């Protein structure tokens, strides 16, 4: 099929893979990409605040400000990467080459970010900023093109949801591996000793481990991530090709694309829903180690790692349910029900007792929350593809990379703002890592971070999704109109 889409030329590559019917190996290969990203991102989300305050040595308020202020850089880098990818032309396609180009830098920057240099506090503070910004730049460089690939690996809307399901299933495998790495890390550390101030000290958890232990773990993680990105590059193809003309040849400029994005109402609402969901996940996930070590009095290593791993397994179990549920109640309806469930389930945590019964109820809640997130995750990416189709129909110009860059931006903003809120609440409540027992106000703050504060994030996302206009009927109509335009 070949046709004109305003100022862009769209073709479907023919061959063994029919349009919309990619072979299984390509779906698995596409999943490997988010398996890599999620392996690193889960460690980043759950352990970086803990690493910065307990191992690297940053003050909580400094760590919080770092995680927030660097989002100004991301606000620029994500759309820039999206427009750059949209205009990339290689024999491998527009978006796929970045998986190969960024694989090694991704691994190296991850190791540097989880390394502790020798030097003064000021030097380490600057080092944290530099390595964090480098890591986020590389993360953008690989994940914006990777996300945009969903719009070109197939032309079939339902098949995009299937690709997205494979993506999320493997993403949760990556998260599971990330949690497992730290369980192995703990086993190697517990029972060993190291010199602290000239005195032999028994290492009890990852917070007590030597900084080099963290670096060695991230070297292993980085190698796995790079390998998986290269596999994705080798196993996937771009079957839908959109040749974007430069402004000089009558195409749209970067300014035109950004203006169209700014007027895209569904994009703003879906972005708000995504940020709300990520606020929920990052605040709650980041609070887990503090909750287990201070409220439940358990080791913040194996215990909370196993707890988080249970959540990852539950999310994996939820992914296969995404397509059948969304086909019955729609993608929008699925997202709304998930946000309602997350809000109500998390509020229950506030009332849990700090004993064995409370722990078991918390585990049950973790499973239910994991299932809800797993059901929604594939649909979220598929909804961004719907927003890209809406933009193409409304503006006569497709900017798939730019649209999908918003998903990366939402991920970073949601996680960073969530981590910022977490660190600021911890600091404001007077948390002191040197104390064996925290004050009552601090303990109340930690309980809040595991209950009603994350629920605020999911509630904000719910408001956005209730206003989101792209229902199943509307997206079906968009596909029909686009098919007529494409000829």
Write the pLDDT tens digit of every residue in 429-451: 988 877 778 889 999 999 999 99
CB-CB neighbours of 255 under 10 Å? 10
pLDDT tens digits along 374-431? 999 888 878 888 888 888 888 776 677 788 776 667 767 777 788 789 888 988 898 8
Please report which confidence band the pLDDT of residue 184 belongs to, taking 50, 70 and 90 as the band edges.
low
pLDDT tens string 230-267 = 999 999 998 876 555 544 444 567 777 778 888 889 99
User: pLDDT-based confidence at 191, cuts 50/70/90?
Assistant: very low
Give the mean pLDDT of 149-168. 83
| pLDDT of 469 over the 50 cut | yes
Which pLDDT score is estimated for 486?
59
pLDDT(336) > 70: yes
* Structure confidence at residue 142 (pLDDT): 94
Least confident of 27-36, 39-48, 190-199, 377-386: 190-199
Residue 365 corresponds to which tokens in the numbers above?
């809640």
pTM: 0.71
Given a cut of 90, whether residue 370 has pLDDT beyond it is yes
Sign of CA dihedral 143, 145, 146, 151: positive
What CATH number has the domain spanning 15-486?
A: 1.20.1250.20
| Per-residue model confidence (pLDDT) at position 199 | 43
- Domain residue spans of the chain: 15-486
């Amino acid at each position: 099929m070949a046709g004109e889409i305003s100022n862009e030329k769209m073709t479907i590559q023919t061959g063994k893979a029919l349009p919309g019917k990619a072979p299984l190996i390509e779906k698995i290969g596409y999943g490997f990409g988010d398996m890599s990203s999620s392996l690193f991102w889960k460690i980043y989300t759950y352990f970086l605040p803990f690493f910065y305050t307990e191992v690297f040595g940053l003050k909580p308020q400094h760590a919080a400000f770092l995680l927030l202020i660097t989002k100004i850089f991301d606000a620029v880098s994500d759309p820039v990467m999206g427009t750059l990818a949209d205009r990339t032309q290689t024999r491998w396609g527009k978006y796929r080459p970045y998986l190969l180009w960024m694989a090694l830098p991704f691994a190296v920057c991850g190791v540097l970010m989880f390394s502790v240099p020798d030097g003064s506090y000021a030097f380490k503070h600057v080092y944290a900023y530099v390595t964090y910004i480098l890591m986020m730049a590389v993360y953008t460089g690989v994940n914006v093109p990777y996300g945009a690939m969903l719009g070109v690996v197939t032309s079939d809307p339902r098949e995009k949801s299937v690709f997205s399901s494979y993506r999320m299933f493997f993403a949760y495998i990556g998260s599971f591996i990330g949690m497992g790495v730290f369980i192995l890390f703990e086993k190697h550390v517990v029972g060993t000793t190291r010199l602290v101030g000239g005195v032999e000290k028994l290492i009890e958890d990852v917070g007590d481990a030597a900084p080099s232990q963290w670096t060695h773990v991230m070297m292993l993680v980085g190698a796995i991530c790079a390998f998986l990105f290269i596999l994705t590059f080798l196993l996937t193809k771009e079957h839908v090709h959109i040749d974007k003309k430069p402004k000089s040849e009558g195409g749209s400029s970067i300014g035109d694309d950004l203006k169209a994005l700014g007027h895209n109402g569904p994009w703003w609402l879906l972005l708000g829903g995504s940020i709300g969901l990520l606020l929920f996940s990052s605040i709650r996930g980041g609070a887990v180690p503090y909750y287990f070590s201070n409220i439940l009095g358990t080791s913040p290593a194996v215990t909370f790692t196993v707890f988080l791993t249970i959540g990852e397994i539950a999310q994996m179990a939820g992914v296969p349910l995404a397509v059948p549920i969304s086909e019955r109640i729609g993608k929008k309806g699925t997202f709304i029900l998930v946000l309602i469930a997350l809000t109500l389930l998390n509020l229950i945590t506030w009332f849990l007792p700090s004993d064995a019964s409370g722990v078991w109820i918390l585990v049950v809640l973790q499973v239910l929350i994991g299932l809800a997130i797993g059901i929604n995750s594939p649909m979220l990416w598929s909804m961004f593809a719907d927003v890209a189709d809406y933009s193409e129909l409304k503006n006569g110009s497709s900017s798939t990379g730019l649209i999908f860059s918003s998903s990366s931006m939402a991920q970073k903003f949601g996680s960073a703002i969530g981590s910022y809120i977490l660190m600021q609440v911890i600091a404001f409540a007077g948390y002191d890592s040197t104390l064996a027992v925290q004050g009552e106000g601090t303990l109340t703050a930690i309980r809040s971070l595991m209950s009603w504060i994350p629920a605020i994030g999911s509630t904000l996302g719910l408001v956005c999704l209730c206003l989101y206009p792209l229902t199943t009927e509307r997206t079906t109509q968009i596909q029909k109109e686009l098919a007529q335009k494409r000829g």
